[in-house]
Amino acid sequence: MPKAVNILEAMLDAPLVFDGAMGAVIYERGVFINVCYDELNLRNPALIRQIYEDYVDAGADAITLNTFGANAVKLRPYNLADRAAEINLTAAAMGRQVAGEAVYVLGSVGPCLAPEDVLGEANCREVRAAFAEQASALLAGGVDAIILETFADAGQLQLAASEAKAAGAIVIASFAVSEEGRTATGAGAEHVAALLDADANVDVIGLNCGAGPAGLMEPLRTVLSRTSKPVVVMPNAGGPREVGGRKLYLNSPEYFTEYAKRYIEMGVRGVGGCCGTRPEHIRMAARAVKGLSGVKKHVEIREVKPAEGARAVPLAEKSALGAKLAAGERVTSVEFLAPRTGAGMAKLLEKVRQVKDAGVDVINMPDGPRACARVSPMITAIEIERQAGIEVILHYCCRDRNLIGMQSDVLGAQAAGLRNLLIITGDPPKLGNYPDATGVFDVDAIGLTRLVANLNHGYDAAGEPIDPPTSLTIGVGANPVALEMEREVERYFRKIDAGAEYAITQPVFDTDALLRFLDRVEKHERTIPVIAGIFPLVSYKNAEFMNTAVPGVVVPDAVLRRMAECRGKEEARAAGVEIAREAVARIADRVAGVQASAPLGIVEMALAVLAR
């Protein structure tokens, strides 16, 4: 039976993850393309059922039936036109059985006519009848909605929508466009989106096929700007793209997943895949998407006002870092990763002492970057402060611990003498070495910032008083090259409202983007010091990786070209430092300080970036 909450209501409540390709998976499992794939619902139901099950197991919130071409017009060349209703009913019943109560079932309806065929008086009645028959059969079989997929002709798409709506369906009308934003018939995405937005028969507008994840970005922006209806996007897995003069085939689950997250951040209410996407793409995307703010329902942390007469410790008194920030003095920091094992602690401490002797103010300690396991960053930070005598900014992410564990860690950091936190939501586990691990994300960075601010005012997560209050400096992340800058700025100010006292940016390679970001946020009274993250590149390959695989980082083409021109390791590292120093010089008078990374643990590169 269909779920109690219909799919439209569910999408409006939180974005859903759809499944991936059907035809490509059928082909990979040994069925040649000269076979009618829709007839496999009758001839080889075990194969189709297994594909449904694979997508359900991968974490899809909705599966799409193997009925894309199951209309009388498309089935006629196979002498199956009179079995259209049977094929659709069988597919729907099978999908419904696999999906159970937990997953939505979408009846797939594709165009009756090829893009070059014109819908007119001669064929309109036949096409209308085919759409009506298919929609009625799918609904009789128990689908939750009908998705009209890969249409190029807006007229045919609207005709299909009218018949699906007349049959009583929730209608998702999805069309295919190229990277240039045009359908195969030449219509622009803005034109089709406007038609569908005004069409009462359409409940949800979609983009699918036509291009890979990156290629659908601009058409998607166009569609989102032309409608107030929910939007779903289902790109192909990806194809060749030019990166730094090379052709790279970007179709891995990781690549697909990174764009799925970006789509959600842009405001879509559903993400899935089309040609070339498989259960492994959906599995990775589902894990990542379902931990995002706006998808996962976070525990609400309410602001607690301090009791009358209570005094929270001022920023200047919390730590040496806090004192420099409060005084407007330039802060310098070097980032080190925690060692992979305890045996690496001595070597790390040696490097930290070298940095301290060079006059650096504070060490930056990430928390499980890219979701890879290392020695506890908190234990590492405690050892650094105890044995090297230099303060640490401890990153703390929301991924790995529930709310109770996070509060315990924060109180433990205070008890151990740590005073500086950088609160981040954290990369989903899919980005690291443990793709089967689950992210907790009881709260995001905004919620955890509020929690720590409450502890600083003497109240725990439950609103119970603690005495004495904590006195932790609260830092947050900022991304000056965010794809959706309005959302980034809105979240930035929500972090400040929650209690953030300073921010550190993602590694900055595009200084113009950072300056534009600062121009926007500094216009408001609610402002905090911003420390710029700077990463000296070590090679062209390193630059490519940062640009394509590290969330929140953009390496401009000019930087990629400079690194590509380097000959040899030493020349590349020298160029990386030079690029980083140029960035520091350009932003020096606009930021509160610089945090330099030590790539590959090369301390000298970080110190060269910070040298004045």
CA dihedral over 338, 340, 341, 345, signed as positive or negative: negative
Of 230-244, 400-414, 426-440, 547-561, the range with the lowest mean pLDDT is: 426-440
**What is the distance between the alpha carbons of residues 178 and 152, in angstroms, rounded to a whole number?**
10
Exposure b/e, 36-48, CB count within 10 A at least 16 = b? bbbbbbeebeebb
Per-residue confidence at 246, pLDDT binned at 50, 70, 90?
low
Q: Which residue has the higher pLDDT, 414 or 117?
A: 414
- Say which range, 137-146, 236-245, 425-434, 562-571, has the weakest mean pLDDT: 425-434
Please choose, from the candidates 420, 482, 573, the residue with its C-alpha nearest in 3D space to the C-alpha of residue 261: 482
- Contact yes or no for 391/385 (Cβ under 8 A): yes
Residue-wise pLDDT for 120-164, tens only, equals 888 999 999 999 999 999 999 999 999 999 999 999 999 999 999
Digit-coded pLDDT (tens) for 508-562: 999 999 999 999 999 888 899 999 999 999 999 999 989 877 777 899 999 999 9
Cα angle for residues 181, 182, 184 (degrees, 5° grid): 145
What is the SS3 assignment for 334?
strand
Q: What single-letter amino acid sits at 29? A: R
* pLDDT value at 181 more than 90: yes
Task: For residue 193, give the H/E element and its range.
Answer: helix 189-198
* pLDDT tens digits along 75-132: 999 999 999 999 999 999 999 999 998 899 999 999 999 888 888 888 999 999 999 9
* Angstrom distance (rounded) from CA 424 to CA 488: 13
Average pLDDT, the chain: 91
Structural tokens at position 84: 């259209």
- Distance of alpha carbon 393 from the chain centroid: 26
Q: Which helix (H) or strand (E) holds 576?
A: helix 569-587
pLDDT at 309 over 70: no
**Could you give the CA distance from residue 285 to residue 260 in angstroms, rounded to a whole number?**
6
Q: How far is 287 from 367, CA to CA, in rounded Å? A: 19
Distances (CA, A) of 229 to 143, 200, 203: 21, 11, 7
Q: What share of the chain is helix, strand, coil (3-state, %, to 5)?
A: 45, 15, 40
- Tell me the pTM: 0.72
Q: How confident is the model at residue 429 (pLDDT cuts 50, 70, 90)?
A: low
First-to-last alpha carbon distance for the chain, in angstroms, is 69
DSSP per residue, 17-72: EB---SHHHHHHTT--TTS-GGGHHHH-HHHHHHHHHHHHHHT-SEEE-S-TT-SH
Nearest to 214 by CA among 237, 190, 186: 237
Note the helical H segments in 59-120. Answer: 72-75, 84-99
State the Cα–Cα distance between residues 584 and 594, nearest whole angstrom.
8
Q: In this prediction, what percent of the chain has a pLDDT beyond 70?
A: 92
* pLDDT for 371: 53
The continuous run of DSSP H or E covering 364 comes out as strand 362-365
At residue 184, the pLDDT reads 93
Mean pLDDT of 303-332: 89
Percent of the residues in the chain that have a pLDDT greater than 90, as a whole number: 77
Look at residue 294 and tell me whether its pLDDT is greater than 80: no
289-301: average pLDDT: 70
- pLDDT at residue 586 greater than cutoff 50: yes
SS3 state at 383: helix
Separation of alpha carbons 214 and 216, rounded Å: 6
pLDDT confidence of 436, banded at 50, 70, 90? low
Residue 435 has pLDDT above 80, yes or no: no
Determine which of 45-49, 58-62, 368-372 has the lowest per-residue pLDDT on average.
Answer: 368-372
**Confidence class for position 426, pLDDT limits 50, 70, 90:** confident
Residue 149: both structure tokens together: 């997929």
Cβ(287)–Cβ(438) below 8 Å: yes
What is the band of 394 on the pLDDT scale with cuts at 50, 70, 90? very high
Q: Averaged over 202-206, what is the pLDDT? A: 98
Q: Which of 84-88, 265-269, 588-592 has the lowest mean pLDDT?
A: 265-269
- pLDDT, residue 572, reads 97
Confidence of residue 2 (pLDDT cuts 50, 70, 90): very low
pLDDT the model gives residue 398: 86
Model pLDDT, residue 555: 94
**pLDDT over threshold 50, residue 1:** no
Task: Look at the alpha carbons of 111, 113, 116, 121 in this order and tell me if their dihedral is positive or negative.
Answer: negative
- Crossing angle of helices 84-99 and 45-58, rounded to 10°: 40
Residue 167 has pLDDT above 80, yes or no: yes
Task: Give all domains of the chain, ordered by start, each with its CATH number.
Answer: 7-289 (3.20.20.330), 320-536+591-604 (3.20.20.220)
